[in-house]
Amino acid sequence: MHNDLIVIDGLQYSNWNRAIFKQLREGGVTMVHVTIVYHEQIRETLLRIGEWNRKFEVHSDLIMPVKCADDIRRAKELGKVGIMFGAQNCSPVEDDIGMVEIMRELNLMIMQLTYNNQSLLATGCYEAVDSGVTRFGQQVIKEMNRVGMVVDMSHSAERSTLEAIEISERPIVISHANPLSFHDAKRNKSDTVLKALGDSGGLLGFSLYPFHLKNGSDCSLNDFCDMVANTADLMGIDNIGIGTDLCQDQPLSVLEWMRNGRWSKSMDYGEGSKSNADWPKPLSWFRDSRDFPNITKGLIARGFNDQDVAKVMGLNWLNFLDQGLQPQTVVR
C-alpha cells in the first residue's frame, strides 16, 4: 500500500535546492505546500514566484507547480513532487482587495490572515488582545472564497480564528499547528477552535516543529501518534492531515526574518527565547522529508487502519483541496 499513498505535507519552508527535492521524492511526498513568503509584500512576492519559476524550469524532472488539485494526482502519476504556493502572512495582498484574485492567478493557493502579529485582516496569536476579523478582513475572506484561495489561520489568535471559520463560506484550514491540550504554546489551538474547525469541514495539519510538541525535540513518535488519534476523536478522521512546518537548512537570519519582519527594532524571539534563539533540534524520527514513512509506520503501530492512514497522510488534504481550490461559480 505505502507506495500508492498520496502523501501531502501541508507546510514546509525549506532552503530549497535539488537535494531537498530529492529527499521529498525519496520520502514519498506527492505534494508539499511551500511557504513562498512570510512578510514579503507584493513586489517581493513576485520576486519569490520568479525564483520558483526558475526552479520549476531547472528541476522539472523532480518537481512541478500545482495549479489545481488535479495537478496533485498528475504529480503522483509522473513521480514528481507537486509544489503548491502559500503565504504565511497577508502581506502579498498589502492593502488591496484586488490583489487576492491577482495572487490566485499566480497560483498562490493558500494564505494566512495573520502571522503572530495584528494584520490588516485579523489578530495574530502573539498580540495581547484579539479583536477578531477586521472590516478589510471580512472582504478578503469573501474574495478568497470567490477565487478559490484557502484561508489558513495557523498563526492567528482564537477569536479571529473562530470568526474566520464563521465568516468563510468555505471550510478553512489550520495548516500547521497542534492541539493546545497536547502542548501549551501560543501557536497551538484550543479544543473549541479545533471542534469548530472540524464541524465546519475544515482541516488541521499536525505540526512536527518541536516548539509545538510535548517534550519539544524529544517528543516521541508514540506521543505524536496518540495526539493524532485523540484529535481524530475530537475533529473527525476526515479533518486531519500533516503540516510538518519543516524549515530545513535555513540560516538563523531566516528565523529572525520570520519572527521580526521589518516591524521590530529590538529582537523578538518568537517561540524561542534569548538563551534559546536558534532553530530547534529536529526530531530523531523526522529529520527531513525522507522520514515521512516513519509517520506512516507510527500511525499503523498506533492502530490506524490503512484507509485512515491514507486519509491522514494525504487523502484528506487532497479532498479538501479538490473543493477549496475551485473558484466559486455560484455565490450562495
Binding site residues, a second copy, CB under 8 A: 39, 41, 91, 94-98, 117-120, 123, 126-132, 134-137, 139, 143, 261-266
Q: Which is nearer to a second copy, 271 or 288 (CB)?
A: 271
Task: Give dist(CA 66, CA 218) in Å, integer.
Answer: 34
CB of 124 to a second copy, least distance (A): 8
Give the per-residue SS3 of 126-149.
CCCCCCCCCHHHHHHHHHHHHHCC
Strands 63-65 and 173-177, bridge-based pairing: unpaired
CB of 258 to a second copy, least distance (A): 14
CB of 118 to a second copy, least distance (A): 4
Secondary structure element (H or E) that encloses residue 72, with its range = helix 70-78
Q: Which is nearer to a second copy, 222 or 264 (CB)?
A: 264
CB of 91 to a second copy, least distance (A): 7
Dihedrals φ, ψ of 30, to 5°? -85, -40
CB 2 within 8 A of CB 28: yes
Cell digits of residue 22: 530529492
CB of 126 to a second copy, least distance (A): 7
CB of 99 to a second copy, least distance (A): 8
CB 176 within 8 A of CB 88: no
> How big is the CA angle at 250 (ends 317 and 86), to the nearest 5 degrees?
30
CB of 247 to a second copy, least distance (A): 21
What's the burial of 133, exposed, middle or buried (CB within 10 Å: 0-12/13-18/19+)?
A: buried
Q: Which is nearer to a second copy, 101 or 322 (CB)?
A: 101
Q: Which is nearer to a second copy, 136 or 279 (CB)?
A: 136
Q: Which is nearer to a second copy, 14 or 123 (CB)?
A: 123
Neighbours of 248 (CB within 10 A): 19
Return the bridge partners of 31, or none. Answer: 8, 82
CB 92 within 8 A of CB 120: no
Grouping H, G, I as helix, E, B as strand and the rest as coil, residue 215 is coil
Q: Which is nearer to a second copy, 37 or 295 (CB)?
A: 37
25: closest CA among 306, 317, 290?
A: 290
CB of 148 to a second copy, least distance (A): 17
Task: Give dist(CA 156, CA 176) in Å, integer.
Answer: 11
Task: Give dist(CA 79, CA 74) in Å, integer.
Answer: 8
CB of 230 to a second copy, least distance (A): 32
